[in-house]
A and B are shown apart, each in its own frame.
Chain A
Amino acid sequence: MNTQGRPTQPTSEGPTRRGSFTGNRALEMEEALIFETGRPGTTGVDLEAPVAVKSRLGAHAREGEIGLPGLSEPEALRHYVRLSRKNYSIDAGLYPLGSCTMKHNPRLNEKLARLPGFADIHPLQPVSTVQGALELIDALASALLTITGMRAAAMSPKAGAHGELCGMMTIKAAIAARGEEKTRNVVLVPDAAHGTNPASAALIGFSVRAVPSGAEGVVEADAVRAALGPDVAAIMLTNPNTCGLFERHIVAIAEATHEAGAYFYCDGANLNAVVGKTRPGDLGVDAMHINLHKTFSTPHGGGGPGAGPVVFSDRLAAFAPVPRVVREGDALRLVEHANGDEFGRMAAFHGQMGMFVRALAYILSHGADGLKQASEDAVLAANYVRASVSDLMSAPFGDRHCMHEALFDDRWLKDSGLTTLDFAKAMIDEGYHPMTVYFPLIVHGAMLIEPTESESKASLDLFIMTLRDLAMSALAGERERFVGAPYHAPRRRLDETRAARQPILRWMKPAPAPME
């Protein structure tokens, strides 16, 4: 029996915060670069010796060192575990990023994507050996068409922006088929649109004509009619839009667009608001990309990979790119070469299969009832947050309900001398990733909050109370909390000016010290 006790309560001795020898702060660790800790001769992978052969490298053999560091397995594991702990993530907390739909990433989806029958198959295996893969792609395409009310799908785009490019290329091909590619070279884009919209149009030679958003935050049909003309190929609208509002004049806009001989491209980034409530196909959309990494829960991975399949109306289906999956009797096959009006190819192989598995698992798990419930909960959660802070934070389009994301501006901060950025950085200290800031560009100091359907009420309530505390603190003039934030994150505010003026984009071996 141990009879020797020890103190079990903290004393009040010592400063609240003191430094350390290592620079570490208990679990929060400073971690050097692999180039500083790794060694060229070390390896964490054991491989058998190569069989002896006569080299067929000819004169192309590598000379000299590459300069790559190596780590043993324990060193590598430790390095990346320590790095990971410096990151915020959805698994750790609410991520109110408007326009990003940071919902829960189900772990079943990770397990299924890793089944050897999905992960260990090559895209160019004989199609007789990959019928299950084609079946999955076909099933997902079919589900997406049902959800959107559209007619045909191109599954190959690798991300949302890639899908936008695919949609605009399809439109350009359709216009060329009518002989109008020289005359119809303008695309209408609302000033509130995500930057990828005009960027995608410009990549293929369209010039962009801005359409103003109306005073109520939505595009007015008259504004579109005024901008349409025989030189217009298409309009690109986001619905719900980047202000979090349903484009309620969309049907009239679609009609006017079609009457003018143009096509209607819809940016589907905000689809999470309307699944099971309406269908883009019924609204007059001709082409829409779907961000599987937003609406359909595939993980963001620190910046990708995503997937951006595109769904088309009858008007455009014939021009969609290769490849596509087709049914021939009992079997499925791939059409890999254009044999009709397909405009070409967006990428090698057949699309982001790994993300398809995850998205289909998500759709099957939710089903018709769950998908609709998810959209309803997403919209309800955003409105709950909005209604709970609208007395403190100003909204650009009045106190009216929103869809799946709530937009605020910085007018309410005007007298505090604080900016949207200051507010955002103070959120970090409270344990929240900031909301989307300074987007859309048409709203000054925009703050766009999208909680998603994955938050419990308790989580939403704490988030609301935190926003309120921060807002009241800002209005009360407690500047220090904001201008020096974040105080508690692994890093304080960074010198981004220096990063841009003196770019250091890779590690360089330090020059050896000169010999005396």
Chain B
Amino acid sequence: MSEIRYTKDHEYVRVDGDIGAVGISDHAQRQLGDVVFVELPALGAKFVKGAGAAVVESVKAASDVFAPVSGEVVAVNAEVDAEPSLINEDALGRGWILKLKLADPSELDALLSQADYDAFLETLE
């Protein structure tokens, strides 16, 4: 079972071996509203943790997706390119945005577990 970790910016990374699938949380997709477009990075692009890796757009808003961990883009999700609504329907599953080959897996330690993220969301209300 691949583990999911979150940032306080509402990105998640779901790690499988040394590849992490990155997307936005369910909370984030609800905040944005209907997603209409995703600006995807190029394959091979390298990001340090915290750098802007993608942009998710709804009708009235645009939100940067910051890389939760450092790495190189090894895949982008052609499905969300064709059907941006997947991010609303299944943000954590089919709505993944890009996959990074992790440069430094220890960066995961600083991220929030599901339980910690849920607790964090409570503080935002």
Binding site for B on A (CB under 8 A): 438, 496-497, 499-501
Contact = CB atoms under 8 A, between A and B. Distances in A.
B70 interface: no
Nearest to B36: A500
B85 interface: yes
A438 B33 CA distance: 14
Contacts of B85: 501
Contacts of A497: 33-34, 36, 59
B59 to A, nearest CB: 5
Interface string B23-39: 00000000001101100
A438 B59 CA distance: 13
A60 to B, nearest CB: 39
B84 A501 contact: yes
Contacts of A438: 60
Interface of B: 33-34, 36-37, 57-60, 84-85
A500 B36 CA distance: 6
Contacts, number: 18
18 contacts: A438-B60, A496-B59, A497-B33, A497-B34, A497-B36, A497-B59, A499-B59, A500-B34, A500-B36, A500-B37, A500-B57, A500-B58, A500-B59, A501-B34, A501-B36, A501-B37, A501-B84, A501-B85
Nearest to B60: A438
A500 B84 CA distance: 11
A501 to B, nearest CB: 5
Nearest to B57: A500
A499 B57 CA distance: 13
Given A497-B33, A501-B84, A501-B85, 13 more contacts: A438-B60, A496-B59, A497-B34, A497-B36, A497-B59, A499-B59, A500-B34, A500-B36, A500-B57, A500-B58, A500-B59, A501-B34, A501-B36
Nearest to A438: B60
Contacts of B59: 496-497, 499-500
A135 B33 CA distance: 53
A497 B34 CA distance: 6
A133 B102 CA distance: 66
Q: List 9 A-B pairs, minimum CB-CB distance, nearest first.
A: A500-B36, A497-B34, A496-B59, A501-B36, A500-B59, A497-B59, A497-B36, A501-B84, A500-B37
A445 to B, nearest CB: 13
A202 to B, nearest CB: 15
Nearest to A502: B36
Contacts of B36: 497, 500-501
A501 B58 CA distance: 9
B83 to A, nearest CB: 9
Contacts of B37: 500-501
A467 to B, nearest CB: 24
Nearest to A500: B36
B62 to A, nearest CB: 11
Contacts of B33: 497
A496 B84 CA distance: 14
Contacts of B58: 500
Nearest to B84: A501
A174 B74 CA distance: 47
Contacts of A500: 34, 36-37, 57-59
B42 to A, nearest CB: 23
A104 B102 CA distance: 61
B84 to A, nearest CB: 6
B87 to A, nearest CB: 12
A438 B60 CA distance: 10
A500 B37 CA distance: 8
Contacts of B60: 438
Nearest to B37: A500
A499 B59 CA distance: 9
Nearest to B83: A501
Nearest to A497: B34
A438 B36 CA distance: 20
A500 B88 CA distance: 15
Contacts of A501: 34, 36-37, 84-85
A418 to B, nearest CB: 16
A496 B35 CA distance: 11
Contacts of A499: 59
A496 B60 CA distance: 9
A74 to B, nearest CB: 39
A59 to B, nearest CB: 42
Contacts of B34: 497, 500-501
